[in-house]
Amino acid sequence: MKAAIFGTGYVGLVTGTCLAEVGHQVTCIDIDAAKIEGLNRGVLPIYEPGLEDLVVANHGAGRLQFSTDAAGAVADAEVLFIAVGTPPDEDGSADLKYVLAVARTIGEHLRAPAVVVNKSTVPVGTADRVRAAIGQSLAARGLDLAFEVVSNPEFLKEGAAVNDCMRPDRIVIGSRAPRAIEVMKRLYAPFNRNHERIVVMDERSAELTKYAANAMLATKISFMNEMANIAERVGADIEMVRHGIGSDARIGYSFIYPGAGYGGSCFPKDVQALERTARQHGYAPQILTAVEAVNARQKHRLGELVRQHFGGEIEGRCFAVWGLAFKPNTDDMREASSRALLEDLWAGGARVRAHDPEAMAEARRIFGPRDDLDLCDSPATALAGADALIVVTEWKAYWSPDFKAVRASLREPVIFDGRNIYDPAQVEDAGLAYYGIGRGRSVQRPAETRSDA
Ligand SMILES: NC(=O)c1ccc[n+]([C@@H]2O[C@H](COP(=O)([O-])OP(=O)(O)OC[C@H]3O[C@@H](n4cnc5c(N)ncnc54)[C@H](O)[C@@H]3O)[C@@H](O)[C@H]2O)c1
């Protein structure tokens, strides 16, 4: 089938590439000409495991095109995806200006009946607004073409996006139009062979499903961070508690890791947007408000621990920070907890020596050159001459350092473990003080692996 995708970011590029990989003819459109020009040369704008090879292969095979020519792509495609950003506007609601701009563009260039698919995360009722915007543009051209608007929210996880797209847990199709549902089922058939993954529902339920999923996951994280803060005060170890509750199948081990708060381009803005939607409809969502507030506070927990350790005074000190991306396996630093930590350290007059396996270019772009930030090319270089080590993102590369070497590099023997990836006893055996999130005194802990960080 012929598909055009508006927005060549995390969602648009991954979706377009996976659709091309299963044989569809895909054109990815973006208004960012530099991004499109780079992609046409095989240079990816984002880091996502496995994506580059697929992009190069499908582009080479002629199934995946990159273009800024919206008119050409609209005229040619049977399915038109909207996968542009929906950032928060001033009051935290989702800003729909990019989504509606694409809708108008589609209306300006449509020549034959088509299915318009909204993949951006958008408030309930947006499908109606997209439909109206396309209809107005068509009317301005004196045309009355048949088109359908489908809500098809995206559930991919950055860092595992290709796998999520190729083997989705579920494919939500929000539409009441039999023709559109049929087109979507044909498009996604290659992803639906092993078992039925397609869930068809009305548009509004599909739109709310996406927010409900993200709000649920954010709630689990904030809940565990609340438990961690209680554990700290009562002398318990949250990691023990995590094992104790995760073993209950009704609770499960997924997404109950305490830490330095959630970040990224989705949870913070989606929880906020859902909260605003609820309020606009006269409902005060108490859980969502608390989830946001707990997370906002948690992002400063590492900064607080550091200050406390140094007697409230960090001016003139230097800190090694491992991990800048909001989570491992991505270079995305949107709303990353590292940013709150760095701001806290800088506000206290400290300097930072930071490392991240993939987000260095992004950090350079965000922070620009500054005297109080050294971006170091290895974890070891970041340690040199630093007063303490702070781990913010749990990249695998940071999991098993030589603690004795860490100790030898640091001016003060202390580690702040913002993701509880270390065994406190092991750290302390190497002569380093250990601070985690919600952990009491060092006790022997079971070996473990994290799977869904
Ligand atoms: N990133 C994720 O993990 C993820 C997961 C699920 C859903 N989502 C949702 O998907 C949407 C897109 O997110 P993203 O992270 O891919 O965003 P992104 O910022 O990475 O990419 C958006 C792209 O859209 C382009 N764009 C803006 N206006 C355009 C226009 N008129 N025509 C063509 N291109 C245009 C931008 O230049 C940019 O390249 C958001 O609503 C987001 O909430 C994101």
Nearest to 10 by CA among 260, 266, 185: 266
CB-neighbour burial class of residue 445 (10 A; exposed 0-12, middle 13-18, buried 19+): middle
262 and 221 Cβ atoms separated by less than 8 Å? yes
Given the structure tokens 């260039």, which residue do they identify?
109
The predicted model gives 166-194 an average pLDDT of 97
CA distance to 244, 274, 407, 426, per residue, from 412 (Å): 34, 44, 8, 17
Long-range contacts of 137-145 (CB under 8 A, 24+ apart): 137/103, 137/104, 137/105, 137/106, 137/107, 137/108, 138/107, 138/110, 140/107, 141/107, 141/108, 143/110, 145/110, 145/111, 145/112, 145/113, 145/114
Distance CA 49, CA 31 (A): 25
And the tokens for 29? 């459109």
Q: How far is the CA of 24 from the centre of ligand 1 (A)?
A: 21
Please state whether beta strands 114-118 and 147-151 pair in parallel, antiparallel, or not at all (unpaired).
parallel
Alpha helices per DSSP H over 110-160: 126-140
Q: How far is the CA of 384 from the centre of ligand 1 (A)?
A: 38
Distance CA 376, CA 379 (A): 7
**pLDDT score recorded for residue 452:** 44
Quick one: CA dihedral 279, 284, 287, 292, positive or negative?
Answer: positive
Distance CA 108, CA 136 (A): 9
**pLDDT score recorded for residue 446:** 40
Residue 90's pLDDT band, with cuts at 50, 70 and 90, is confident
What are the backbone dihedrals phi and psi of residue 214, each rounded to the nearest 5 degrees, phi first?
-65, -35
* 266 in catalytic set: yes
What are the backbone dihedrals phi and psi of residue 116, each rounded to the nearest 5 degrees, phi first?
-100, 125
Which mutation among 118, 265, 365 tests ligand 1's pocket best, with the greatest number of atoms within 8 A of CB? Answer: 265
Residue 398 DSSP code: G
From the list 18, 28, 165, 266, the catalytic residue is: 266
Identify the residue whose C-alpha is closest to ligand 1 atom 11.
Answer: 120
Nearest to 342 by CA among 319, 310, 364, 311: 319
In this predicted model, what pLDDT tens digit does every residue of 378-415 receive, in sequence order? 999 999 999 999 999 999 999 999 999 999 999 999 99
**pLDDT score recorded for residue 204:** 98
Given the structure tokens 């050159």, which residue do they identify?
369
Residue 154's pLDDT band, with cuts at 50, 70 and 90, is very high
7: amino acid identity, one letter: G
Distance CA 47, CA 290 (A): 32
Q: Which atom of ligand 1 is nearest to the CA of 45?
A: 39
For the chain, the C-alpha Rg in angstroms (whole number) is 24
433: amino acid identity, one letter: A
And the tokens for 181? 């549902």
The predicted model gives 410-428 an average pLDDT of 97
Give the relative orientation of helices 51-60 and 33-40 as an angle to the nearest 10 degrees. 80
Q: How far is the CA of 400 from the centre of ligand 1 (A)?
A: 35
165 and 156 Cβ atoms separated by less than 8 Å? yes
Mean pLDDT for the chain overall: 95
Q: Which atom of ligand 1 is nearest to the CA of 120?
A: 41
Distance CA 433, CA 425 (A): 10
Please state whether beta strands 318-322 and 198-201 pair in parallel, antiparallel, or not at all (unpaired).
unpaired
pLDDT at 450 exceeding the cut of 90: no
**pLDDT score recorded for residue 317:** 98
Q: Which atom of ligand 1 is nearest to the CA of 158?
A: 3
Where does ligand 1 bind, in terms of residues with CB under 6 Å?
6-12, 29-32, 35, 83-86, 98, 101-102, 120-121, 154, 156, 158, 265-266
**pLDDT score recorded for residue 183:** 98
Q: What is the number of H-type helices and E-type strands within the chain?
A: 18, 14
| pTM reported for the whole predicted model | 0.93
In this predicted model, what pLDDT tens digit does every residue of 249-300 receive, in sequence order? 999 999 999 999 999 999 999 999 999 999 999 999 999 999 999 999 999 9
What are the backbone dihedrals phi and psi of residue 314, each rounded to the nearest 5 degrees, phi first?
-120, 5
132: amino acid identity, one letter: A
Residue 94 DSSP code: B
Point out which residues pair with 435 in neighbouring strands. Answer: 416
**pLDDT score recorded for residue 451:** 42
Residue 444's pLDDT band, with cuts at 50, 70 and 90, is very low
CA distance to 256, 344, 440, per residue, from 434 (Å): 21, 20, 10
Distance CA 449, CA 441 (A): 21
Q: How far is the CA of 30 from the centre of ligand 1 (A)?
A: 10
Alpha helices per DSSP H over 175-266: 178-188, 203-234, 238-246
Nearest to 258 by CA among 232, 239, 233: 239
Residue 445's pLDDT band, with cuts at 50, 70 and 90, is very low
Q: Which atom of ligand 1 is nearest to the CA of 32?
A: 37
Distance CA 298, CA 302 (A): 8
Q: How big is the chain, counted in residues?
A: 453
Q: How far is the CA of 430 from the centre of ligand 1 (A)?
A: 45
SS3 66: strand
**pLDDT score recorded for residue 448:** 45
Q: How far is the CA of 240 from the centre of ligand 1 (A)?
A: 39
